[in-house]
Amino acid sequence: MNLAGKKILLGVSGGIAVYKSCELLRLLQKKGATVRVCMTDAATEFVAPLTFASLSKCPVYLKNGAVEARPFQHIDFPRWADLYLVVPATANVIGKFACGIADDPVSLCFMSCTCPRVIAPAMNVAMYNSPAVKRNLEILRGFEETTVLESPAGELACGEVGQGRLMEPAEIVAYLDDRRALTTNKFTEPAEVNVAEKGEGFPLASAAGASSATPSPVLSNAEASGGHPRNAPEPPAFPVAQDIDPTQDPSLPGHGKKVLLTAGRTEEAIDPVRYISNRSSGKTAVALASVFYANGFEVEVVAGPMEAAFPGGVAVSRVQSAREMHDAVMSRLESVDAVVHCAAVADYRPAHAADSKIKDSRSQLTIELVPNPNILRDCTAARASRATDAAGDARRQVIVGFALETDNFKQHAAEKLEKSGADALLLNAPVASDSGFGHDCVRYALVRPHAGIPEMHMGSKVDLAQEIVHFVLNELG
């Protein structure tokens, strides 16, 4: 299908994969399509409607009756469209589609849609394999002009492994590209494709019920079967086609700017098999990289060990220890417009790491610790030094730090902000059972100098990332 000139309605339902819909929207626009968006209330909890409105340059159809809303949006939006894409499609909205329930913008548009429909499920593997979801997906595959894309196997946001991942945005666009040209409100089946010759496949289940058993090419057989593969490659996030590059779009606010992120955790060796570390999963850094990239920034990451995967257009340098991260950041500092210190860096390391495994003698063991370099403070000091050397003419560079606290939040945040010299500090408290390390939500507040310490609030890590990106853009002017 030639996407140029096509009108696509993007339905977004609530799940952690919502942030990938932002990238999908940009990819569709790069192909020449015009995109409008409708969202469920749950989706707005993950990504603000303003993000989609800004990217699509059109008000988002919401249930709460935005000022721009018209009384017949549930008819006007799908009638306008050549194609209705629902990405991500949660178990809840899939159930509504299958049962004829229409009580939110996404399901209302599905009900009144007369154009072809493509649905991309995304959910936990247990939900995806539940009898109810399997039944509902089979019902949808029987609907006229409705295609259900297969969910590839891999590591899920919850840390489990199996089916339920959202098909990557670039794969969805490539799948649409493989189909024959659209006629008016008709979405024909794709021409026969020799997958072996193409070198890649896009697993899907069509209305006829045919299902491809070929796993995504980036997955091993163990991943495709839901197992936990040994030495498996990182699952990709936001793979971007060669002709898609947000950093080349001059209309985006981050065009021509470069940001450096630290990510993950550091590991400080005790001996060849033991180390001191923490529980950081890297999810916050991935959200930051994704939002910066979607806004046109060139993104470079210095990442310690972590489980989450970065967008395909992001440059990632891997390190292990705090000293390695320090050296990597300082060597890149002068070339960037902004630095966001998101990594959970170990404050201390063993003074001496044993060359061989320390044997278990059941006797008391004492490990002497020495402080690691403070990467944030060294960055602000280097910035101040450059400004002095250049007589104040050095270009503006924004530095944002993170403060993870478990008590006396405001006092500790104020002290760290003053000592660090950063332009802002993201105060967060990842200690609740349903937030913080490994979760998609966290309690946080963005702290600025001389502005008081705001109360922390619970939000998604994508919301956190958007707030930081907005701050950086304002600071850079």
39 with 181, same domain? yes
Same domain, 292 and 415: yes
| Cβ neighbours, 10 Å, residue 94 | 25
Asked if 150 and 186 sit in the same domain, the reply is yes
- Indicate if 115 belongs to the active site: no
The 8-class DSSP code of residue 247 comes to: G
Give me the domain span that covers residue 85: 7-224
pLDDT lower than 70: segments of the chain: 1, 64-74, 153-162, 178-245, 361-362, 388-395, 430-440
Is residue 202 located within the same domain as residue 345? no
The pLDDT mean for the chain works out to 78
176 and 259 in a single domain? The answer is no
Residues 316 and 423 in one domain: yes
**Selection from 210, 226, 197, 195 nearest residue 142 by Cα:** 210
Buried b (16+ CB within 10 A) or exposed e, 372-411: bebbbbebbebbeeeeeeeeeeeeebbbbbbbbbeeebbe
- Structural domain count of the chain: 2
Helix (H, G, I), strand (E, B) or coil at 398: strand
Residues 467 and 427 in one domain: yes
CB 324 within 8 A of CB 251: no
Query: Residue 423: which CATH number?
Result: 3.40.50.10300
Amino acid at 134: K
Residue 120 counted as domain residue: yes
Percent of the chain with pLDDT over 90: 38
DSSP letter string, 208-222? T--B--PPPTTS-HH
For the stretch 298-321, pLDDT in tens is 999 999 999 888 877 899 999 999
Whether 2 is in a domain gets the answer no
Q: Is 108 inside any structural domain?
A: yes
Please tell me the distance from the alpha carbon of residue 235 to that of residue 155, in angstroms, as a whole number.
Answer: 7
Inside any domain, residue 236: no
Q: Are strands 441-447 and 457-460 parallel, antiparallel or unpaired?
A: antiparallel
Domain co-membership, 442 together with 403: yes
In terms of domains, do 38 and 105 share one? yes
| Strand-strand pairing, 441-447 and 398-404 | unpaired
- Pair 72, 157 in one domain: yes
Question: Where does a domain end: 190, 224, 258?
Answer: 224
47 and 24 Cβ atoms separated by less than 8 Å: no
Residue 1 resides in a domain: no
23 found inside a domain? yes
Tell whether 132 and 183 lie within a shared domain: yes
| Nearest Cα residue to 344 out of 402, 406, 272 | 402
Peptide bond into 88 cis (omega under 30): yes
185: domain CATH number is: 3.40.50.1950
Q: How far is CA 309 from the centre of its chain?
A: 9
Residue showing tokens 């799940």: 15
Question: Which residue out of 158, 342, 379, 441 is catalytically annotated?
Answer: 158
Domain assignment of residue 243, yes or no? no
77: left (phi over 0), alpha (psi -120 to 50) or beta: alpha
In a domain, 100, yes or no: yes
**d(Cα 266, Cα 425) in Å, to the nearest integer?**
20
Kindly state whether residues 97 and 204 are assigned to the same domain.
yes
Report the alpha-carbon distance of residue 135 to residue 153 in Å, rounded.
19
Residues near 14 by beta carbon (within 8 Å), at least 6 away in sequence: 40, 41, 42, 43, 44, 45, 46, 90, 92
